[in-house]
Structure 1
Amino acid sequence: MAKSTTPKTTIEPALPETYELALQELERLITDLESGQLPLDQLLSSYQRGAQLMSFCKAKLEAVENQIKVLDGNELKNWSGAK
């Protein structure tokens, strides 16, 4: 029986729904990376996931910062760039 030559595709896990969940996962990844106990393959994928989570968290923080910048009185104005 011939082996399949179809390349393996890795499915990236979805980003968390909230900043807090992303931060929690990022903190766990940092702990794992700092432990020095991860196999090389897992080290690389954990680093890549961490970079994704950092980008996600940064975008969330920037969105909140932009909303705060348009703060008028005690009310937040609708910000056209909000998602």
Structure 2
Amino acid sequence: YEAALEELEQLVGRLESGQMPLDQLLSGYQRGAELLKFCRDRLEAVENQIRVLDEGTLKSWGQS
């Protein structure tokens, strides 16, 4: 996740610079969309795992 996020941040910086040729701009945008989807999917998976833990074992484990 961290590596994908770092690559995405660097890519956004290059895209925003306005210095990329059109063909690189398009491929950069496509790569950025892939990285964004990957990061969102990973965050959603972690959120779902936390939700399961919050609703299950962790809360009931501390209760007597």
Give the TM interval when normalised to the shorter protein: 0.7 to 0.9
Q: Name the structure 1 match of 2:31.
A: 49
Match of 2:11 among 16, 19, 29: 29
Q: How many residues align?
A: 56
TM-score, length basis structure 2: 0.84
TM-score, length basis structure 1: 0.65
**Higher percent of residues as helix:** 2
The percentage of aligned residue pairs carrying the same residue is 68
Instruction: Give, in angstroms, the shift of residue 56 of structure 1.
Output: 0.2
Give the Cα separation in 1 of the matches to 2:51 and 2:21.
Answer: 44
RCO higher in 1 or 2 (8 Å CA, sep ≥ 6)?
A: 2
Summarize the alignment of residues 60-71 of structure 1 with structure 2, pairs less than 5 Å apart: 60-71=42-53
Instruction: Give, in angstroms, the shift of residue 65 of structure 1.
Output: 0.3
Give the Cα separation in 2 of the matches to 1:69 and 1:54.
Answer: 22
Instruction: Give, in angstroms, the shift of residue 26 of structure 1.
Output: 0.1
**Higher percent of residues as strand:** 1
Give the Cα separation in 2 of the matches to 1:73 and 1:48.
Answer: 40
Residue ranges of structure 1 left out of the alignment (5+ in a row)? 1-18, 75-83
Instruction: Give, in angstroms, the shift of residue 73 of structure 1.
Output: 1.5
CA RMSD of the aligned region, Å? 1.0
Give the Cα separation in 2 of the matches to 1:63 and 1:41.
Answer: 33
2:58 maps to amino acid? G
